[in-house]
Structure 1
Protein backbone atom coordinates (compact mmCIF):
# COMPACT_ATOMS: atom_id res chain seq x y z
CA UNK A 1 0.00 0.00 0.00
CA UNK A 2 2.95 2.32 0.60
CA UNK A 3 3.75 2.38 -3.15
CA UNK A 4 0.17 3.35 -3.93
CA UNK A 5 0.30 6.26 -1.47
CA UNK A 6 3.56 7.46 -3.00
CA UNK A 7 2.04 7.24 -6.48
CA UNK A 8 -1.02 9.22 -5.35
CA UNK A 9 1.19 11.96 -3.89
CA UNK A 10 3.24 12.16 -7.09
CA UNK A 11 0.16 12.30 -9.32
CA UNK A 12 -1.51 14.93 -7.11
CA UNK A 13 1.67 17.02 -7.34
CA UNK A 14 1.68 16.74 -11.14
CA UNK A 15 -2.01 17.75 -11.19
CA UNK A 16 -1.17 20.74 -9.01
CA UNK A 17 1.62 21.84 -11.36
CA UNK A 18 -0.36 21.35 -14.57
CA UNK A 19 -3.64 22.72 -13.23
CA UNK A 20 -1.87 25.70 -11.70
CA UNK A 21 -0.13 26.35 -15.01
CA UNK A 22 -3.36 26.19 -17.00
CA UNK A 23 -5.11 28.44 -14.48
CA UNK A 24 -2.27 30.97 -14.62
CA UNK A 25 -2.21 31.01 -18.44
CA UNK A 26 -6.00 31.44 -18.61
CA UNK A 27 -5.92 34.39 -16.19
CA UNK A 28 -2.96 35.92 -18.02
CA UNK A 29 -4.92 35.66 -21.29
CA UNK A 30 -7.97 37.18 -19.57
CA UNK A 31 -5.95 40.19 -18.39
CA UNK A 32 -4.54 40.66 -21.89
CA UNK A 33 -7.85 40.32 -23.77
CA UNK A 34 -10.52 41.17 -21.20
CA UNK A 35 -12.60 38.18 -22.34
CA UNK A 36 -14.85 36.98 -19.52
CA UNK A 37 -14.83 33.45 -20.91
CA UNK A 38 -11.10 33.18 -20.22
CA UNK A 39 -11.59 34.33 -16.63
CA UNK A 40 -14.31 31.73 -16.09
CA UNK A 41 -12.16 29.09 -17.80
CA UNK A 42 -9.37 29.85 -15.32
CA UNK A 43 -11.82 29.54 -12.44
CA UNK A 44 -12.98 26.14 -13.72
CA UNK A 45 -9.45 24.77 -13.93
CA UNK A 46 -8.68 26.36 -10.56
CA UNK A 47 -11.62 24.50 -8.98
CA UNK A 48 -10.43 21.18 -10.38
CA UNK A 49 -6.87 21.84 -9.21
CA UNK A 50 -8.03 22.97 -5.77
CA UNK A 51 -10.11 19.80 -5.44
CA UNK A 52 -7.11 17.61 -6.20
CA UNK A 53 -4.99 19.52 -3.70
CA UNK A 54 -7.58 19.51 -0.90
CA UNK A 55 -8.44 15.83 -1.23
CA UNK A 56 -4.75 14.89 -1.29
CA UNK A 57 -4.12 16.93 1.85
CA UNK A 58 -7.25 15.54 3.52
CA UNK A 59 -6.17 11.98 2.79
CA UNK A 60 -2.57 12.42 3.92
CA UNK A 61 -2.96 14.65 6.98
CA UNK A 62 -6.53 14.26 8.23
CA UNK A 63 -7.06 10.50 7.73
CA UNK A 64 -9.90 10.93 5.25
CA UNK A 65 -10.48 7.56 3.63
CA UNK A 66 -9.42 7.06 0.06
CA UNK A 67 -13.02 6.35 -1.01
CA UNK A 68 -14.29 9.57 0.62
CA UNK A 69 -11.38 11.48 -0.94
CA UNK A 70 -12.28 10.15 -4.38
CA UNK A 71 -15.90 11.22 -3.84
CA UNK A 72 -14.91 14.74 -2.75
CA UNK A 73 -12.45 15.05 -5.63
CA UNK A 74 -15.16 13.91 -8.06
CA UNK A 75 -17.48 16.65 -6.82
CA UNK A 76 -14.76 19.26 -7.43
CA UNK A 77 -14.05 17.84 -10.90
CA UNK A 78 -17.76 17.81 -11.82
CA UNK A 79 -18.22 21.40 -10.64
CA UNK A 80 -15.02 22.54 -12.36
CA UNK A 81 -16.06 20.91 -15.63
CA UNK A 82 -19.47 22.61 -15.38
CA UNK A 83 -17.70 25.96 -14.97
CA UNK A 84 -15.43 25.18 -17.95
CA UNK A 85 -18.46 24.23 -20.03
CA UNK A 86 -20.12 27.52 -19.08
CA UNK A 87 -16.95 29.41 -20.06
CA UNK A 88 -17.16 27.88 -23.53
CA UNK A 89 -20.79 28.99 -23.81
CA UNK A 90 -20.29 32.64 -22.79
CA UNK A 91 -20.61 35.10 -25.61
CA UNK A 92 -19.71 38.75 -25.42
Structure 2
Protein backbone atom coordinates (compact mmCIF):
# COMPACT_ATOMS: atom_id res chain seq x y z
CA UNK A 1 0.00 0.00 0.00
CA UNK A 2 2.92 2.38 0.65
CA UNK A 3 3.94 2.09 -3.02
CA UNK A 4 0.49 3.26 -4.10
CA UNK A 5 0.59 6.23 -1.72
CA UNK A 6 4.04 7.17 -2.99
CA UNK A 7 2.91 6.84 -6.60
CA UNK A 8 -0.12 9.06 -5.93
CA UNK A 9 2.10 11.71 -4.32
CA UNK A 10 4.52 11.62 -7.27
CA UNK A 11 1.74 11.89 -9.86
CA UNK A 12 0.01 14.69 -7.94
CA UNK A 13 3.36 16.54 -7.83
CA UNK A 14 3.78 16.17 -11.58
CA UNK A 15 0.21 17.42 -12.12
CA UNK A 16 0.94 20.40 -9.87
CA UNK A 17 4.10 21.28 -11.82
CA UNK A 18 2.57 20.84 -15.28
CA UNK A 19 -0.75 22.48 -14.39
CA UNK A 20 1.03 25.35 -12.70
CA UNK A 21 3.22 25.80 -15.76
CA UNK A 22 0.26 25.83 -18.15
CA UNK A 23 -1.61 28.25 -15.90
CA UNK A 24 1.42 30.56 -15.72
CA UNK A 25 1.94 30.50 -19.51
CA UNK A 26 -1.76 31.22 -20.15
CA UNK A 27 -1.73 34.21 -17.78
CA UNK A 28 1.54 35.45 -19.24
CA UNK A 29 0.00 35.27 -22.74
CA UNK A 30 -3.09 37.07 -21.42
CA UNK A 31 -0.98 39.90 -20.02
CA UNK A 32 0.89 40.21 -23.30
CA UNK A 33 -2.16 40.13 -25.60
CA UNK A 34 -5.04 41.23 -23.38
CA UNK A 35 -7.11 38.39 -24.87
CA UNK A 36 -9.85 37.51 -22.36
CA UNK A 37 -10.04 33.90 -23.56
CA UNK A 38 -6.44 33.32 -22.42
CA UNK A 39 -7.26 34.57 -18.93
CA UNK A 40 -10.27 32.26 -18.73
CA UNK A 41 -8.15 29.39 -20.08
CA UNK A 42 -5.64 29.98 -17.29
CA UNK A 43 -8.43 29.95 -14.73
CA UNK A 44 -9.68 26.60 -16.09
CA UNK A 45 -6.28 24.97 -15.84
CA UNK A 46 -5.80 26.57 -12.44
CA UNK A 47 -9.03 24.96 -11.19
CA UNK A 48 -7.91 21.53 -12.40
CA UNK A 49 -4.50 21.99 -10.79
CA UNK A 50 -6.00 23.25 -7.54
CA UNK A 51 -8.28 20.19 -7.43
CA UNK A 52 -5.34 17.85 -7.79
CA UNK A 53 -3.46 19.68 -5.05
CA UNK A 54 -6.39 19.80 -2.63
CA UNK A 55 -7.33 16.15 -3.06
CA UNK A 56 -3.72 15.09 -2.62
CA UNK A 57 -3.42 17.14 0.56
CA UNK A 58 -6.79 15.88 1.85
CA UNK A 59 -5.79 12.28 1.25
CA UNK A 60 -2.33 12.56 2.78
CA UNK A 61 -2.95 14.82 5.76
CA UNK A 62 -6.64 14.57 6.61
CA UNK A 63 -7.24 10.86 5.99
CA UNK A 64 -9.92 11.48 3.37
CA UNK A 65 -10.74 8.17 1.73
CA UNK A 66 -9.53 7.49 -1.78
CA UNK A 67 -13.13 7.32 -3.03
CA UNK A 68 -14.00 10.75 -1.65
CA UNK A 69 -10.72 12.13 -3.01
CA UNK A 70 -11.49 10.80 -6.48
CA UNK A 71 -14.97 12.34 -6.32
CA UNK A 72 -13.65 15.74 -5.24
CA UNK A 73 -10.91 15.64 -7.88
CA UNK A 74 -13.46 14.70 -10.54
CA UNK A 75 -15.63 17.68 -9.60
CA UNK A 76 -12.65 20.02 -9.97
CA UNK A 77 -11.69 18.45 -13.32
CA UNK A 78 -15.26 18.77 -14.63
CA UNK A 79 -15.48 22.40 -13.51
CA UNK A 80 -12.05 23.21 -14.95
CA UNK A 81 -12.91 21.58 -18.28
CA UNK A 82 -16.17 23.54 -18.41
CA UNK A 83 -14.20 26.77 -17.91
CA UNK A 84 -11.68 25.73 -20.60
CA UNK A 85 -14.54 24.96 -22.98
CA UNK A 86 -16.00 28.39 -22.26
CA UNK A 87 -12.62 30.01 -22.97
CA UNK A 88 -12.56 28.33 -26.36
CA UNK A 89 -16.15 29.42 -27.02
CA UNK A 90 -15.50 33.11 -26.31
CA UNK A 91 -12.50 33.00 -28.63
CA UNK A 92 -14.65 32.24 -31.68
- The TM-score, its normalising length taken from structure 1, stands at 0.98
For residues 58-79 of structure 1, the C-alpha deviation after alignment (integer angstroms, 9 at most, x for no partner) is 0000000000000000000000
CA–CA separation in structure 2 for the residues paired with 1:66 and 1:52: 13
Q: Look up the match of 1:36.
A: 36
CA–CA separation in structure 2 for the residues paired with 1:89 and 1:81: 12
CA–CA separation in structure 2 for the residues paired with 1:49 and 1:40: 14
Q: Gaps spanning 5+ residues in structure 2: where? A: none
- The TM-score, its normalising length taken from structure 2, stands at 0.98
User: How many pairs are equivalent?
Assistant: 92
For residues 39-63 of structure 1, the C-alpha deviation after alignment (integer angstroms, 9 at most, x for no partner) is 0000000000000000000000000
Q: Gaps spanning 5+ residues in structure 1: where? A: none
Q: Look up the match of 2:79.
A: 79
Superposed structure 1 runs of 4+ greater than 3 Å apart: none
Deviation at 1:91, TM superposition (A): 3.8
SS at match of 1:64: coil
Q: What value does the CA root-mean-square deviation take over the aligned residues? A: 0.9
For residues 23-53 of structure 1, the C-alpha deviation after alignment (integer angstroms, 9 at most, x for no partner) is 0000000000000000000000000000000
